[in-house]
């Protein structure tokens, strides 16, 4: 997994980078670091775990860290949207920049 850095994100933004993006960039880098830690923990533990409730009954439940990973991924995606770096936003920018989209050499649709 590639580790994002503030510099890599600035490079992806290119001429669209603004100093006001810096806080979002730092937040993305820190959140991604948290995501990687969560992922390591989930990879070491089972997806389903035993849980004993207050009544003393033991049940099999989803590992709570998997829920946190989902929330963290959603946060990362929202930060990318705020920076204009989602695949859909990049494709839209390419299409609007080329006029008819005939120059589009992005293979994303073929994937």
Contact 9, 83 (CB under 8 A): yes
Query: From start to end of the chain, where are the E strands?
Result: 48-52, 58-62
pTM over 0.85: no
| Strand (E) or helix (H) holding 1 | none
Q: What DSSP state is assigned to residue 111? A: -
The domain limits of the chain are 46-51+58-78
SS3 percent helix, strand, coil of the chain, rounded to 5, is 65, 10, 25
**Tens-level pLDDT at each residue, the chain (111 residues):** 689 999 999 999 999 999 999 999 999 999 999 999 999 999 999 889 999 999 999 999 999 999 999 999 999 999 999 999 988 887 777 666 654 444 455 555 554
């Amino acid at each position: 997994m590639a580790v994002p850095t503030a510099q890599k994100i600035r490079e992806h933004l290119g001429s669209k980078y603004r100093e006001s993006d810096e806080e979002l960039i730092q937040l993305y880098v820190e959140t991604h670091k948290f995501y990687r830690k969560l992922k390591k923990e989930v990879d070491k533990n089972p997806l389903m775990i035993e849980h004993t409730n207050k009544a003393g009954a033991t049940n099999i439940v989803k590992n709570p860290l998997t829920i946190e990973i989902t929330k963290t991924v959603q946060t990362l995606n929202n930060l990318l949207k705020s920076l204009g770096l989602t695949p859909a936003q990049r494709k839209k920018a390419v299409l609007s920049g080329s006029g008819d989209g005939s120059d589009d050499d992005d293979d994303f649709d073929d994937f």
